[in-house]
A and B are shown apart, each in its own frame.
Chain A
Amino acid sequence: MAQIEIRDLGIDYRKPKSDEVFSAVDGVALSVEKGEFVTIVGSSGCGKSTLLMAVAGLVALSRGSIRIDGKDVTGPGPDRAVVFQEASLLPWRSVRGNVKFGLEMQRWSGGNLDEQAMQMIRLVGLGRFSDYQPHQLSGGMRQRVNIARALAVDPEVLLMDEPFGALDAQTREIMGTELLRIWERDKKTALFVTHDIDEAIFLADKIVVMGRNPGHIKEVIKVDLPRPRDEEVLDSEDFHNLRKRLRAHLAEDMSSMQLVQEVA
């Protein structure tokens, strides 16, 4: 049985100050095997973040089900941890304090909090910066803290919501390589949302391409590039072919979006 099993998923939102309801995600079905790295791509508004937040248990389902290891997701749980965009670090806590935060919230009892936190901080390469405040760090370093915070609680499933979206292209590439290095250690099941095509291919065992109105899965693409991967993969022919295929998908979405704008 797959580790994550999503069936007929639908998520509706009520538009603010009206009774109008719109579907952010509809008819989504997806299974993710244990240890699989799955990336979710799509243009903005395709419901990819909503889907991830639903798996995290932070968004209520309107239809269908999400099961993890056979158990229905009804809210956040210690089997999952989320890596958010930069702004989710507590600005008044140090790097160590932030990494401990998740453990504190989960009432973690697996040993010394400080040791567990420091181990993760060293893993993401921030050993020397454990007493720094977030505002003293660069964007890339802050995202390392975010990753360390999620890994510290030792989840079964790692959920990442465009974690490198706010970083410049070069830092983003370095972070992708770093993420794979860390992931290779224990190959946790990972769901990674992005709008960057190269990032989606580089990280994935499987790419989920989403489309809009309402958010749905257009295609699931298997990625057979050899692991462990480094930047050289980016120049391989397989990589180029995958990129072409994804571009075509996203271009389709973009043109339909433009059409909507013109009509409006």
Chain B
Amino acid sequence: MIAELFYRRQALILGTLSMVGLVVLWQIAVDGGFINPFFISTPSQVWAEFVVQFEDGQVAANVGATLYCFAWSMGLATVAGILLGMLAGWFSDVEAALEPFIWFKYSAPTVAFYPLFVAWLGYGTPTIIAIAFLFALTPIYANTLSGIKNTDRDLARAARSFGAKPYDIFFRVALPGSVPVMMAGLRLGVGRALTGVVVAELFGANAGLGYAITYYGQLMQTTRMMVSIVIVILLGVILTQILSFLESKTDSWRTDTGR
């Protein structure tokens, strides 16, 4: 029975084991004197420091600041990405007009715009939101675009045979058919938005997880820095998991359309 349970949850169990193994190895490597704790700290120290930072309110302040910027950038990117993606997916002229910007976005690092945003918006929240918005925009736009553009021709034709007007085909065929692909775009966007917020915070902020990482990093206080790094990782995993869950809810019908 245990064996059966193991096979059913093999991926989850193995993944958990390797994570736990890494943490144990990390602790042993430092405790055994193989690695200088200055470079990497230890799990037990990070945990103790986490409790301290949690109790003095630093964790709440930093997570709050980061999530605030995340929510704004992700919200704006969702609205803009889906609207632009729908327009570009439906009207090939719009797609052609937007194409060069997408090339720039794929080939040039978004962070390069950072100084420009600082010049426009100053250091702090608005610039962080702007950078994270650009990070998240591309996958949301690109997925919405491909979802609408790749609308099943057979379905569109069937709809037309019943007298569907173009807007019927858009709202009743193209849009519902694109939801799963749009959700996948949002899932990718969430990870990108969080990355964008943290990266922008590294450069210039007075709160947030990225700010805490640079702040303690510059002071060479590895343990304190590690607390925020670990929180960022957990936050990313949790947010992406939430989106994965929502995604799986919307595409149940896609599971075996290949038949």
Contacts and interface: CB of A to CB of B under 8 A. Distances in A.
A92 B253 contact: yes
Interface residues of B, number: 24
Given A58-B157, A82-B158, A90-B173, A106 B163 contact: yes
B161 A135 contact: no
Interface residues of A, number: 25
B154 to A, nearest CB: 5
A77 B163 contact: yes
Contact of B161 (A81, A92, A104): A81
Interface string A122-140: 0000000000011100000
B162 A88 contact: no
Contact of B154 (A84, A102, A133): A84
Contacts of A91: 177, 253-254, 257
Contacts of B255: 135
B242 interface: no
B55 interface: no
Nearest to A88: B158
A78 interface: yes
Contact of B253 (A80, A82, A133): A133
Contacts of B204: none
A85 B155 CA distance: 11
Interface string A88-99: 101110000000
Interface centre among A80, A87, A91, A101 (most CB of B within 10 A): A91
Nearest to A107: B163
Contact of B162 (A87, A105, A133): A105
Main secondary structure, interface of B, reads helix
Interface in B239-259: 252-257, 259
A56 interface: yes
A84 B162 contact: no
Contacts of A153: 162
B172 interface: yes
Interface string A103-119: 01110000000000000
Contacts of A90: 155, 173, 176-177
Contacts of A104: 172
Given A133-B253, A135-B255, A105 B157 contact: no
A88 B151 CA distance: 12
B156 to A, nearest CB: 10
Given A92-B253, A135-B259, A76 B154 contact: no
B150 to A, nearest CB: 14
A58 B163 CA distance: 10
Given A88-B157, A92-B176, A135 B162 contact: no
Interface of B: 152, 154-155, 157-164, 168, 172-173, 176-177, 179, 252-257, 259
Given A88-B157, A91-B253, 5 more contacts: A58-B157, A84-B154, A88-B154, A92-B176, A92-B253
Shortest 3 CB-CB distances between A and B: which pairs? A105-B162, A88-B158, A102-B162
